[in-house]
Amino acid sequence: MASSTTSPLRRPRVILFDVNETLLDMGPLKLAVNAAFGNKAAFNQWFGLLLQHSLVATVTDSYFAFATIADAALDMTAHMLQERPLTHAEKQALTARFAQLPSHPDVPEGLRQLRAAGYRLAAFTNSTAAALAEQLRYAGLTEYFDQQLSVDAVRRYKPHPDTYRYAIEEAGVGPRRGPARGRPRLGCGRGPGRGSRRRVPRPPRPDAVPAGPATHLPSPHPYRTGRAIGVTAGAPGLARHE
């Protein structure tokens, strides 16, 4: 009988949770963005551009705060959908709603069960540390997390490897120093919230985009929401569980 060479996943020492959509329900923000533009396609267009240009900022080493990219993406959305551009106050009101998102109904109980089972939990976000703290406070989730981590510390966005190196080192399960067996194993799976996949819009022509940060070199890419990552030290490789 042939034996499998795949080693079983060990119990994670810490679980890193994405925040938007994994833990928090983006529904209210979607309704607000669509209403602001009077267009049901507005939120998907805007959020796709927001994630796309955060990646562009990372690969071109031109870091901008997540809220700054979100603001510029609203201008791009108006242009691409041929809708009225939003005023500065309207854009500020929309981006402020990131701090006013409720959790998915099943999230608190899911987190409670994980903590009761002895897991260490960390929230890991593309937003700033201050924004993350406000999001968790508003949603009533602060008590469930041992750590709150932001990519702002390394000035690169997920999924750049530096962001995950930072997170696992902050969590105390960083790669071993020395030869061989250097990388940690990451077990990626759906969090207790209801993740979703959205269509990434085709990027605009460079000459058709209003002025804003990182509005050049756009490239479509798939992205995922609704993810949690369990980290165990000392074993190489990346395992995905969809």
User: Over the stretch 126-174, which tens digit does the pLDDT of each residue have?
Assistant: 999 999 999 999 999 999 999 999 999 999 999 899 999 999 999 988 6
In this predicted structure, the answer to whether residue 36 has a pLDDT above a threshold of 80 is yes
Write down the pTM of the prediction.
0.70
In this predicted structure, the answer to whether residue 226 has a pLDDT above a threshold of 80 is no
Q: Is the dihedral of CA 10, 228, 64, 101 positive or negative?
A: negative
Stretch among 8-12, 54-58, 114-118, 193-197 having the lowest mean pLDDT: 193-197
Nearest-10 Cα torsion for 221, 227, 232, 235 = -30
| Nearest in space to 233 (alpha carbons), one of 180, 173, 171 | 173
Residue 33, Ramachandran bin (φ over 0: left; ψ between -120 and 50: alpha; else beta): alpha
In this predicted structure, the answer to whether residue 236 has a pLDDT above a threshold of 70 is no
pLDDT in the model for residue 7: 59
**Banded pLDDT at 10 (limits 50, 70, 90):** confident
In this predicted structure, the answer to whether residue 194 has a pLDDT above a threshold of 60 is no
